[in-house]
Amino acid sequence: MSNELAKPVIGFTCGDLNGIGIELILKTLSDHRLLDVCTPVVFASNKSLNFYRKSLPETNLNYASTRELNRLNPKQVNLVNCWEEEVAITPGQLTEAGGKYALISLKQATLALKEGHIQGLVTAPIHKKNIQSPDFTYSGHTPYFKAYFNVPEVVMLMVAENMRVGVVTEHVPVSEVAKHITKENIVSKLKIIHSSLQKDFGIDKPRIAVLGLNPHAGDEGLIGNEEETIIKPAIKEAKHSMMVFGPYSADAFFARGQFERFDTVLAMYHDQGLIPFKSLAIGEGINYSAGLPVVRTSPDHGTAFDIAGKGKADNASFLEATFECVEIIRKRLGYADMRQNPLKKMSARMIANAVDERIEEAEG
């Protein structure tokens, strides 16, 4: 196994400076066993890490500051000092500085990901309002990465041990959801999910369930007609290249445990998928951006301003996001390796020699 496959370099953004992001990083990376599976690189500043270390006296995190991403120490946590100036950190407060430096961390980490200095990225929570600027006009991380890496479509995929849930629409007002539910959008999301399940999760023949938009999946047109005119035709088209089923009534689908029969569920809008996911997921769920050429994960929660700076943040989801980031990188490399045809690398003479040797061994 190559060093890259065995121990990838994983970046960590700090998120909103006044949220729980840095506390999650400190708690997660204080477990030195993590160094056995990856080389961590934190994009923040010495001063911000030291500020939150004061509220975590039991946390023992040693790290090395660096400016050169091609000279990382694989035996300890690395810190890229993204800024030197003094920054006012006020845990639990929504401030301009909190969003400004979250974006600085995110931009530097994303550039390192694009240039191949890191193989994966775990993003700490941002506040979607105070991070807005001329350089960030997105409703969240997922559309930001979609634009940065110039891909036509991505899927916000929630992942847990017992279920995966993707959504057609993400951070869209409920009043505008229906206009985004088109046959083209659904088929596009299904193709991305199908490819991701094979490449990123090692599932050769995934089964995908699709939810309806309306209550009771429209009751055959009695409660809205999107299921009949949009969702069913999309499923019919997708069936040519994958195993996809539905549309299912969302309430009964989750209440009766039908999700356990499928590898992934595609919900039509944010709360339709995320409320049951966060209620039913075993263990700690994470958010994965499927469809990107790079690997990015995050915890399934926000900045938690109400407990920021108090040492109360639970890092279970953040830790799971770290492990999942490593595992997806390994799965991707394994997928690519398995699909390389070794016969193309061998000349006809080499093949003939190999056959002759097998015959001689059998006869001898």
What are the backbone angles phi and psi of residue 245, rounded to the nearest 5°? Answer: -135, 155
Residues 190 and 242 in one domain: yes
Question: Given pLDDT bands bounded at 50, 70 and 90, which one contains residue 354?
Answer: low
Q: Comparing 38-42, 103-107, 213-217, which segment has the lowest mean pLDDT?
A: 213-217
Closest residue by Cα to residue 13 from 68, 82, 61, 62: 82
Question: Is the N-terminal amide bond of 247 cis, ω within 30° of 0?
Answer: yes
Residues 281 and 138 in one domain: no
The CATH number that applies at residue 55 is 3.40.718.10
Residues 145 and 165 in one domain: no
Return the sign of the alpha-carbon dihedral for residues 105, 326, 71, 115.
negative
Query: Domain containing 313: what range?
Result: 1-151+294-364
Closest residue by Cα to residue 199 from 303, 319, 118, 291: 291
Over 70: is that where the pLDDT of 3 sits? no
Q: Comparing 107-111, 133-137, 243-247, which segment has the lowest mean pLDDT?
A: 133-137
Tell me the mean pLDDT in the region 5-15: 90
What are the backbone angles phi and psi of residue 335, rounded to the nearest 5°? Answer: -60, -45
Residue where one domain finishes, among candidates 291, 315, 332: 291
Q: pTM here?
A: 0.88
36-90 residue pLDDT tens:
999 999 999 999 999 999 889 888 888 999 988 988 999 999 999 999 999 999 9
d(CA 159, CA 112): 25
Residues 171 and 133 in one domain: no
SS3 (DSSP) at 40: strand
Q: Is residue 18 within 8 Å of 89, Cβ to Cβ?
A: yes
d(CA 206, CA 223): 30
Residues 338 and 304 in one domain: yes
Distance of CA 307 to the CA centre of its chain: 24
**CB contact set of 314 (below 8 Å; sequence gap of 6+):** none
Residues 315 and 269 in one domain: no
Q: What is the count of structural domains for the chain?
A: 2
Residues 195 and 301 in one domain: no
> DSSP alpha helices (H): ranges in the chain?
3-6, 21-29, 46-53, 96-114, 141-148, 177-180, 183-199, 226, 232-238, 250-255, 270-280, 316-338, 348-363
Identify the pLDDT of residue 27.
Answer: 96
248-297 residue pLDDT tens:
999 999 999 999 999 999 999 999 999 999 999 877 799 999 999 999 99
Identify the pLDDT of residue 357.
Answer: 60
111-120 residue pLDDT tens:
999 999 999 9
Residues 241 and 335 in one domain: no
Q: What angle do CA 246, 249, 252 make, to 5 degrees?
A: 120
**CB contact set of 170 (below 8 Å; sequence gap of 6+):** 139, 140, 142, 143, 156, 270
Strand partners, 297: 122, 288
- Give the β-pairing of 164-167 and 207-211: unpaired
Q: Is residue 206 within 8 Å of 242, Cβ to Cβ?
A: yes
Residues 196 and 95 in one domain: no
Residue where one domain finishes, among candidates 234, 258, 291: 291
Q: Is residue 277 within 8 Å of 288, Cβ to Cβ?
A: no
Residues 47 and 112 in one domain: yes
Residues 220 and 304 in one domain: no
What are the backbone angles phi and psi of residue 322, rounded to the nearest 5°? Answer: -65, -50
What are the backbone angles phi and psi of residue 193, rounded to the nearest 5°? Answer: -60, -45
Residues 341 and 352 in one domain: yes
**CB contact set of 354 (below 8 Å; sequence gap of 6+):** 346
Distance of CA 155 to the CA centre of its chain: 9
Closest residue by Cα to residue 155 from 168, 171, 173, 136: 168
Residue where one domain finishes, among candidates 226, 257, 291: 291
Over 70: is that where the pLDDT of 352 sits? no
Please report where in the chains the tokens 């890229």 appear, as a residue: 80
Indicate the angle between helix axes 316-338 and 183-199, nearest 10 degrees: 80
User: Measuring CA to CA, how many Å separate 29 from each of 5, 77, 80, 262?
Assistant: 20, 7, 15, 34
d(CA 34, CA 230): 46
